[in-house]
Structure formats: C-alpha cells, structure tokens
A and B are shown apart, each in its own frame.
Chain A
Amino acid sequence: MNHLRAHGLLFYGSILVVFLLQLAPMPQALLAFKPYWPALVLVYWALEAPDRVGLGFAFLLGLCGDMLTGEVLGEQALRLVSLAFIVLRFRSRLRFFPMWQQAVAVLALLLNDRVVLLMMRAFGGDPRPPATFWIAPFVGMLAWPWIFLLLDDLRSRLRARDA
C-alpha cells in the first residue's frame, strides 16, 4: 500500500470512528461528560495536515454531523468552521506548544465552541441548558493528549513501515 493511501485511510478512518463515538450510547449519568469528539479530531488534523483540512473541509464535516445527529442543517458546520478557523490561524504556535499548554488551548477552543452552540440554541428558542453543559469541554481537554498521542503514534507507524 502506498504511503498516501495508507495516510488517507487513517484520516478518513479517524473521522468515521469519531462519528461512531459521538453516536455511541452512554449511561444517562455520564451523558454530560461526553466531549465533542469531531472537534478534537478536527483540531488534530488541522494542526498536522493543514493541506487536507481547510475551512471547506470543516464545513463538510459539520454538514455530515448534522445529517447524522442534528436537526438543523448547518449548526455543526458553523461550529466546526469557526473552530477550524481559529486553529488554522494559530497553527504555527499551537504546534510547538508543550502538551499541557496545547490541552489548555483545546479547552479554550471547546469552551468557545460551547458559547457558539449556546448562542445558536438561544436563537432557536431553546431554554438555558443545565450547568452540566459546561463539563464536556473539560473532559475534552483531558482527552486531548490521548487522542494526540494515539493519532501521532499511528501516523509514525505508517511512516516507519513506509520508509
């Protein structure tokens, strides 16, 4: 298998897995702790493969998410585009942050994403969500190093086998 194809497989595979993770059921008590998986993987690929991930890709990814889970087309597209924009803007700095600093940056991104979501839901006429609404970004921050290490490891394995 040539390098590019294996790389593409990992890329699209990770996106499929992320959607499955987002859909996978959880016990009622843990529901609030579920991070917004597509955002995390999008951040990773925006940092590591900006030639693949642009705003247009984030938009498409969001539309796929909306088709799968949302009820208004464009909601996740807007969230992911704004997320991708920030990551791509600060990509060169984020990339050289130590892990803990990167995790804090991811927390900030996810909190921002929650604010965007809250604003859109408020326009849609939803009542204010419970306080547990704000837990998920912190779980996302804790999950970030693991996702980063896992995907990095998979990629370096591909490269090593290729070389």
Chain B
Amino acid sequence: MALARNDSSPLFAEGASSTLRLVIYLALAIILMVVDRHFHYVEILRMRASAVIEPIYRLAAMPAKLAHDARLAFSDRNALTEENARLREALMLSQTRLNRLGVVQEQNQRLKQLLDVQNGLGVGVQLAKLIDLDLDPLRHRIVLDAGSGEGVSIGQALIDAHGVVGQIIEVMPHTSKAMLITDPSHALPVRIERSGVRVIATGSGVVDRLDLLNIPASADVKVGDKLVTSGFGGRFPAGFPVGEIIEVKNDPSGLFGAAVARPSAALDRAGEVLLLHELADPIGPPPPAETPGPPPAVVPKTIAAPAAPTTP
C-alpha cells in the first residue's frame, strides 16, 4: 500500500510520533493512574461499561468452558462411577459428622441462651461459579458469575469446601471480581489453632503459599500448625480454616519469626465457591449502650405511639 508521506526524511519520521505528543500521552496516563489510585473510579467506569465488558468476559471464557464441558461429556463411564462412589462415601462421612454436630449445636444454643450471647456462627451462603479468566498473571484475581443482581456486595468472604478462598473486591451487574488470599496485596488476620497466637497471613503471589511475617520471637509456632481466621478486621468470620504451616524460620532482621503456610482451599482448581452472606461481626468492644431516658411507659402516649394506620 502506497502511503502518502509528506515528511522530508522518511528514515526518522517525526509526524505522528513526535516527542511532544509522547510526553503529553505519558503525562496523561500517569495522571490517570495517580487519580485512579486515590479515587478508584475505574471500578465505577467498569460498572457503567458492564454491558460491554460482561459479554467479552463470557466470550473469552467460552473456549475453555466448552473444552471442559466436552471433556465431561466424553469422560468415560468408569471414571464417573468411581467419582460417584467416592462422593457418596464423602457425603456419608459428612452426614455422620453433621448429625453429631447437630447435637452439639443444640447444646451450644442452650448454653448460649444461658449466657445471653447474641452473635452466632450462623451464616448464609450462596454458590457462585468461576468464570475462567486470566486477568493479570501477577495478581491473583478471579471472576465469578454472580454480581450485584444476585445480591453480591463488596467485601463478602469466599470459601470453598476446604477453607478461605478470598474476598469480593468489585461487583458488576452479573459478574464480580474477587481477590484470592494469595494475592500479593492481600492480608488476612489468622489465629494459630493450637496455641492461639494471632498473626497476619499475607499473600505471596505464589498460588500455594502464604507468608506469615513479624511473628513475635517468643510465639509458639510449629510446622504443621493449623491456621484459622481470627475474625479480626470484620471481613472474615472467625474459625474458618485458612492453611497449614509448612516452614518456620527467622526473618532477616532476626528480631521476629516468620513462617510459610500452604492454603487449605483449592485455590488453583476451584470451579465453584461459596459466598458468605453476612459479613462477620467485628470483634471489639460492645456497641455503646442506648441513651438512658425515661422508660417508655412514662413517655406521653402522643409522642411514643406513631399515628396508627387507619383501616378502612
């Protein structure tokens, strides 16, 4: 194709790529990034453009989904029967355990009533499927096929059958984005089940590894210790399994201990996750008591009782 070129030296063409324009565009990009870091308006923009973005997400995930479905459709009978038998066995075990738990729960309920404890462990869950997408290899993000239309909201915790998976960071009408606990910018307050030591588990950027930094040197931490969520921070309910410590070492300064844990959730092969519905109650001081005043009986009727709806 013959190009109409009107510049004089074709070997060092200025024209479309002048340095001034480069500087302007770079400055524009940097301004966008800085402003976005502060105001996070990309999420709002993405919400607005969701009508375009969501179909693209589905389209991009389609080949992998088709391949998966095809494999399922043509997988041989033996494998399926075997899997069925295994699941049946697992279900039976879980059922037995649940039955025992039911008794314990009943007992717990009674004891709690005796103690007048309000907050329970009751959490509603919702099943969400993963849309298999790769957003950024350096970040650990997943896309789920449920969004604000299905009642998903930012900050909800994600779990699977084995433990904590992550939390929702962005919602669109029918998809949402979650950050895995192994993302380099994720931190999760955990407790060591055996000794009760509380530490922060930060993501390492590697899918089967969590870092525990700044553990007090005197803390009781051993290889094989189980980690559970501590409930601090209010994002994750207390008591969900997080992982298991596989290595204990000293941090470079020598003042603190450090450890490495393996997440118990199947982060790299989960196909479905559970969204916890209620956000955890933040553990902290109790809410302030209601303002003292005269008991309702003393308050004049005209103020205390709202106008009764007139019934025809």
B-contacting residues of A (Cβ < 8 Å)?
Answer: 19-20, 22-26, 28, 31-32, 34, 49-51, 54-56, 58-59, 62, 66-75, 77-78, 81-82, 84-85, 88-89, 91-93, 120-121, 124-127, 129-130, 133, 136
What residues of chain A lie closer than 8 Å to B49, measured between beta carbons?
67
A-contacting residues of B (Cβ < 8 Å)?
Answer: 1, 3, 10-13, 16-17, 21-22, 25-26, 28-33, 36-37, 41-42, 45-46, 49, 53, 56-57, 59-61, 63-64, 132-139, 184-185, 205-207, 268
Once the chains bind, are B25 and A69 in contact (CB under 8 Å)?
no
**How long is the Cα–Cα vector from A62 to B25 in the complex, in angstroms?**
11
Once the chains bind, are A120 and B64 in contact (CB under 8 Å)?
no
Once the chains bind, are B11 and A73 in contact (CB under 8 Å)?
no
Tell which of B30, B31, B60 touches A23, judged by Cβ atoms closer than 8 Å. Answer: B60
Once the chains bind, are B29 and A55 in contact (CB under 8 Å)?
no
Tell which of B28, B36, B41, B56 touches A19, judged by Cβ atoms closer than 8 Å. Answer: B56
Given contacts A50-B16, A67-B53, A81-B22, contact A126 B138 (CB under 8 A): yes
Per DSSP, chain A at the interface is helix
**How long is the Cα–Cα vector from A163 to B176 in the complex, in angstroms?**
49
Given contacts A23-B134, A34-B137, A55-B21, contact A88 B36 (CB under 8 A): no
**How long is the Cα–Cα vector from A34 to B136 in the complex, in angstroms?**
10
Given contacts A23-B135, A28-B207, A70-B136, contact A56 B36 (CB under 8 A): no
**How long is the Cα–Cα vector from A66 to B29 in the complex, in angstroms?**
11
**How long is the Cα–Cα vector from A69 to B237 in the complex, in angstroms?**
29
Given contacts A74-B30, A78-B26, A130-B205, contact A24 B63 (CB under 8 A): yes
Once the chains bind, are A93 and B11 in contact (CB under 8 Å)?
yes
Question: Could you pull out 27 A-B pairs where Cβ atoms are within 8 angstroms?
Answer: A23-B57, A23-B135, A24-B63, A24-B133, A25-B134, A26-B134, A28-B268, A31-B134, A49-B1, A55-B16, A55-B21, A67-B45, A71-B136, A73-B36, A73-B42, A74-B31, A74-B32, A75-B29, A77-B28, A77-B32, A78-B30, A81-B26, A84-B17, A89-B17, A92-B13, A93-B11, A136-B137
